[in-house]
Amino acid sequence: MYDRLFSPIQIRGLELKNRVVLPAMGTRMAGEKGEITPRLVAYHAARAAGGCGLNIVEVAAVHTPSAPAHFVSISDDSLIGGHKKLTDAIHQSGGKAAIQLWQGSIATTFDPRAEMLVVNDMEFAGKKLKAITTDRIQEIVECYGKAAARCAEAGYDCLEFHCAHNYLPHSFLSGGLNHRTDEYGGSFENRSRFPLECIRAIRNAIPEEMPLFMRIDAHDDYLPGGLTIEEIIEFCRIAGENGVDVLDVSRGNIITAGSVYEVPPIDIPRGFNVENAARIRRETKMATIAVGRINTAEQAEAILEEDKADMVVMGRAQLADPEFCNKAREGRTEDIIHCVGCNQGCYDGFCDLRNRPFITCLRNPCLGHEEEWKLTKAETPKRVYIAGGGMAGLEAARVLLMRGHHPVIFEAGDRLGGQFITAGQAPGKEEMKQAAISFGRLVERSGAEVRFHTPLTPEIITEEKPDAVIAAVGSAPIELKLPGSEKKMVCQAHAVLEHEVEPEGSVCVIGGGLVGLEAADALAAAGHPVKVLEMKDTAGEDLGMLRKIAVMQKLGGESVGIITSARCLEIIETGVVVETPEGKETVACDSVVLAVGSASRDSSALKEASEKAGADFFVIGDAKRARRAIDAIAEGFETARQV
């Protein structure tokens, strides 16, 4: 299947077995000084073994003083040995290895000890930064050349020069970022000078047969005076003349809302950047990689068949399922666990320095633990009863089956997937709903017994005596105890998303978290005037940064009003009485939708029955504590791994 996607491609002296590229996604799996770790080796080896054509090792620092901790570095000869272990592992797993050469500019803020090199004098993160000097510019250019030579020695098959996303080369190239008045600023020719010097230094340091890729933004988003696609096309032509072979066409920068395009969440359309890549390819006549929410084999094949790109980046698709390529090539698409663009593990997890040492994935809790969490068959297969067929319960069942156990899912309703399906009812989130449905079918197809319309009861446990019980009964919406909340005009947000009720007229949504905002979106899309009332000083606190940008932009476009610091006092026939810093007022509406959070369902009776029956008992997911889906699924995996 997917003949075009899995056809070989030749670039200079390199032949790739297929057109799938694992891009250089930041992982924070490197060591304190940027050294390659066994964890990073196992992560890349798993994707190469999974059938990926080319693995690009992420944002490798070329300059030691500005290299942040736990980001890959190739800035010193002492690091070559570790990189050799990584390239060997990728090659032994059947793949090819590339590495992305990087100078991060303000992105080094992840490590306060790392220097920030900036194109102009500027203030950032509370620091006054001085523009990089011309002498220092030449030092960085030399560092690119030396790093490239190290990469060749370490066994990489090709290199990628990062000239996008607000990093130093892009900062020089973009007129929206570069305000210098010397020979490196002003005209397009001057702004191109530094990145072209870097390209030449790299090209001169590597063998003639080694390809050089370049990651480039298609244009600058939300950046006054920024790069246009016409300027990008012109720069790419010149870069090609100076030794670049392949254009990896991305979008985004880290100082504006354009950051939403770097790791685009579910709110951004799939393949949103493909047409830009197609135009750049057409006008430069250069080999091009399409990037941007390409997460199914069907979509990737269509892009190649329509001659819009030569290769496709499928990054988060392979975080969610490292066997993505093998499954697609073999026609086992129903077995693929698809990325849903939630951003909870790959981006939010990357930025969460306090709670997560490296990235993870909502759909693949094993990400970053490929070696130490290999699943083994249980010595004694057990009959395990799972109360609840939501995503946590399904993940537990999936892993139990892989380990040789016999899971039985007790689902009170008529479907598997739980609140993932409810969340997938919001506008633009059909992928999430379909992922839940597909996952339920996968678990059933794998051999799990499912009893629909059958909640697990203490009586069943007492009578059937399973070896273990996992309570994955989830949570229920909190009933707001507010005068007037019993009125007919009041309903719960979950009922709105599930299309069980249709509020009348104008609507006030009480609660500005994820569920409230998505209910507001659904109501606005259906034509209702909507206002959201949030007691905190900001709405969307439980959304990750990039999803929040996208959701708030969408609600703004739908004219949804958001009133923050609003304490709701009473629901009356004409609206909701609130108290704000400006005083008491009535927000007029015809209907009220409650979205004030969820509370765990009680599983104490199941626990008591399990203890009496001699069965091991576990509580996972929202049944333990209402949180994000990533935590629930991770607990399902971890519990099943240890049963």
Same domain, 615 and 591: no
Q: Is the pLDDT at 537 greater than 90, yes or no?
A: yes
Q: 468 and 529: one domain?
A: no
| Mean pLDDT calculated for residue range 452-474 | 98
- The CATH number that applies at residue 628 is 3.40.50.720
Q: What is the CATH number of the domain that holds 554?
A: 3.50.50.60
Kindly state whether residues 437 and 502 are assigned to the same domain: no
32: domain CATH number is 3.20.20.70
Residue 324: predicted pLDDT: 98
pLDDT tier at 239, thresholds 50, 70, 90: very high
Residues 232 and 347 in one domain: yes
- Residues 440 and 556 reside in one and the same domain: no
With a pLDDT cut of 70, the percent of the chain lying above it is 100
Total tally of structural domains belonging to the chain:
3
Q: Do residue 428 and residue 501 come from a single domain?
A: no
Q: Does some domain include residue 78?
A: yes
Given a cut of 90, whether residue 322 has pLDDT beyond it is yes
Q: At a CB cut-off of 8 Å and minimum separation 6, what does 297 contact?
A: 1, 2, 5, 324, 328, 333, 336
375 assigned to some structural domain: no
pLDDT band at 99 (very low <50, low <70, confident <90, very high): very high
592 and 447 within one domain: no
Q: Strand, helix or coil at 88?
A: helix
Query: What pLDDT is attached to residue 41?
Result: 98
User: What residues contact residue 460 under an 8 Å CB cut-off, 6+ apart?
Assistant: 385, 410
Give 574-596 pLDDT, tens digit per residue: 999 999 999 999 999 999 999 99
Q: Are residues 530 and 464 in the same domain?
A: no
Instruction: Tell me, yes or no, whether 35 and 92 share the same domain.
Output: yes
What confidence score (pLDDT) does residue 355 get?
Answer: 85
Neighbours of 499 (CB within 10 A): 10
One domain for residues 188 and 273: yes
Asked whether residue 118 carries a pLDDT value surpassing 90, the answer given is: yes
Structure confidence by residue, pLDDT tens digits, 168-214 = 999 999 999 999 999 999 999 999 999 999 999 999 999 999 999 99
- Ranges of beta strands (E only) in 44-157 are 54-61, 96-102, 122-124, 127-129
User: What integer pLDDT is reported at residue 344 of this predicted model?
Assistant: 95
Query: Would you please indicate which residues are annotated as catalytic (active-site) residues?
Result: 167
Phi/psi of residue 112, nearest 5 degrees: -60, -15
What would the pLDDT profile of 556-571 be if each residue is shown by its tens digit? Answer: 999 999 999 999 999 9
pLDDT higher than 90, residue 1: no
Average predicted confidence (pLDDT) for the chain: 96
251-288 pLDDT per residue, tens: 999 999 999 999 999 999 999 999 999 999 999 999 99
pLDDT at 353 > cutoff 90: no
Structural domain contains residue 518: yes
Domain identity same for 445 and 500 = no
Structural domain harbouring 525:
490-596
- Three-class SS state of 395: helix
- What is the pLDDT, as a whole number, of residue 127? 87
Residues 507 and 606 both lie in one domain = no
What is the pLDDT at residue 125?
Answer: 82
What is the distance between the alpha carbons of residues 87 and 91, in angstroms, rounded to a whole number? 6
